[in-house]
Homo-oligomer: A and B are copies of this chain.
Amino acid sequence: VNLVFLNGRIVPGAEARVSVFDRGFLYGDGVFETLRVQAGKPFRWESHQARLESGLRLLGLASTQHGTVLAQQAAELIAANQCQEGVLRVTVSRGPGVRGYSPAGADTPTVVMSLHPRSSAVPAAGLRLVTATLRVLAADPLAAVKSTSRLLYVLARAEADTVGADDALLLNQRDEVSETTSANVFLLDGDVIHTPELATGLLAGVARGVVVEIATEMSLSVRESAIHPKAFLDAEGVFVANVVSGPREVGLLDDQAVRRSNRVAEIRRRFEALVARETGGF
């Protein structure tokens, strides 16, 4: 089954289309969220919805108002697709508008939700990352928005694909680590987990918040700072995390081995347990 939610209706995926004048298609003028579905329920819906609303505000779009309506529609879509485990993507674009950057007059946002398979495999050797050639901009207010203007992330990921790596590590113009194209970054160092500060130009993932909760459970403290890529080689262990795949250990950065720590497995175990607890099991 591949049913898609489109502007209030559930339709077959093959019939789910938007106008070529949709500003999401013309200008990447939209925002999205990617949620993990477990036991037929979206994990941490409220956190994702809050970030979605915050993005909509920055775009000057009315909030989806009916937050509870959207949650209900998501639940209906999950049920219609008989989805137990997967990924829910929610996209809100500014909708159809006239040519030109000005969003004036475009006042009917397009809302799309779709379900996708989830993969969470971690290679035995850990993830292989490569440093992306393209840089993000430190202190960019747009970095906080999960917008659909994401070509930089696509090209960085394509760069990783080219050499058979799992993901690309994004640095900002100051050579500081920001994030990977799809996950936040964490370095283990004794009782401390280091993670890049927001000002490096990263998107604060929902999983980042979960990792902080787990660190607290484990009596570890999380410290935000500017991190240079060479710190990867000094760390006791490095992992990346997003809600879809959970915490995943890094084994290699640009062909340099990264130390492995068995505490990453413990963090991952706790992450999965938390997802199971909140969604009602696997």
A residues within 8 Å of B by Cβ?
4, 6, 13-14, 16-30, 32, 34, 58-60, 87, 89, 91, 93-94, 98-104, 112, 114, 116, 133-142, 145, 147-158, 161, 173, 181-182
CA distance A1 to B153 in the complex (A): 38
27 contacts between A and B (CB under 8 A): A16-B19, A17-B18, A17-B19, A18-B25, A20-B91, A20-B114, A21-B114, A26-B32, A26-B89, A26-B91, A27-B154, A28-B148, A29-B151, A29-B154, A34-B99, A58-B155, A99-B114, A101-B153, A101-B154, A102-B157, A102-B161, A133-B141, A135-B137, A137-B137, A137-B173, A149-B149, A173-B173
Least CB distance from A96 to B in Å reads 10
CA distance A134 to B87 in the complex (A): 32
Evaluate contact between A27 and B101: CB separation under 8 angstroms. no
Chain B residues near A104 (CB-CB < 8 A):
161
Kindly report which residue of chain B lies nearest to residue A102, judged by CB atoms.
B157
Evaluate contact between B27 and A150: CB separation under 8 angstroms. yes
Evaluate contact between B27 and A16: CB separation under 8 angstroms. no
Chain B residues near A139 (CB-CB < 8 A):
173
Chain B residues near A134 (CB-CB < 8 A):
140-142
8 A-B pairs with least C-beta separation: A28-B28, A17-B17, A149-B149, A149-B151, A101-B157, A99-B116, A27-B150, A28-B149
Least CB distance from A107 to B in Å reads 13
Kindly report which residue of chain B lies nearest to residue A59, judged by CB atoms.
B155
Least CB distance from A153 to B in Å reads 5
Evaluate contact between A150 and B153: CB separation under 8 angstroms. no
Known: A20-B16, A149-B152. A99 touches B112 (CB 8 A): no
